[in-house]
Structure 1
Amino acid sequence: MTDKHLDLDALSALRDVMEDAYPQLLDTFLADSEERLQSLRKAVQVAQLVDVAHSFKGSSSNMGAVKLVALCGELEKNAEKLSSSQIQELIAAIDLEFAIVRPLYEAERQRSLAES
């Protein structure tokens, strides 16, 4: 299941580069993602949706969250032509995907702390 949601090679590369700061990077990503999800839920203008989806896509890409990248990219690219209900469905899908990857990142954090 992990490889469908997370690029483990990307996480391994991050772990190598970040070394002792890796667990903090994971914490920061999770906290930022929560804020971005809140922003997506509250956005009333398409431009806001596009901006938040773009930044969420970028951070998810950096962290190897492949399915989040795809969903955020879809929202970023299509927000202007989607109906309100389609936008809400896509945000719900992003929410669901984050609910799947969050515990994977938390487990990764615990693993990295145990190794240090």
Structure 2
Amino acid sequence: MTEIHLDLDVLSGLQDVMEDEYPTLLDTFLDDSQGRIEALRQARDDAKTLGCIAHSFKGSSGNLGAVRLAQLCQRLETASAEPAVTGLGELVDEIDHEFALVKPLYESERQRFPI
């Protein structure tokens, strides 16, 4: 099964709905996501905090079509609630890596619209 990093149909639908505010939406997502990545790194040993950040990041990623990023955040959210918490640091690393993959795709999308 092929992993979907970015669902372009979701972005197209958002562009239709958001119209002139679409570039602002992309800017906001990129800024917020960078902050969430930093927060995940800092909270890497705090399961409760990781779960909260992952929950929020899952929603925004899913809404903006970052399919695999949303899936990884779901896995982190679920794992952080387990009684025997293990592997959270590895999931944080996977999320960090996935964001590094999709970030330039969003930046490229954003460049299609003049400032």
Structures share fold, TM-score greater than 0.5: yes
Asked whether 1:13 is paired with 2:16, we answer no
Q: CA RMSD in A?
A: 1.6
Asked whether 1:49 is paired with 2:16, we answer no
* Unaligned runs of at least 5 residues, structure 2: none
Over residues 44-82 of structure 1, what are the superposed CA-to-partner deviations in whole Å (9 max), with x where a residue is unaligned? Answer: 421111100000000001100000011000000012333
Distance in 2 separating the partners of 1:107 and 1:93: 22
Asked whether 1:82 is paired with 2:50, we answer no
* Aligned equivalent of 1:72: 73
Query: 1:25-64, aligned counterparts within 5 Å?
Result: 25-43=25-43, 44-64=45-65
| Larger helix share, 1 or 2 | 1
**What is the Cα deviation at residue 105 of structure 1?**
0.3
Of 25-34 and 36-45, the range deviating more from structure 2: 36-45
> How many residues are matched?
110
Length-normalised TM-score, structure 1: 0.88
Letter in 2 for 1:62: N
| Residues 36 and 57 in structure 2, CA contact (< 8 A), matched pair in contact too | yes
Segments of 4+ moved more than 2 angstroms: none
* Unaligned runs of at least 5 residues, structure 1: none
Distance in 2 separating the partners of 1:28 and 1:5: 19
Letter in 2 for 1:60: S
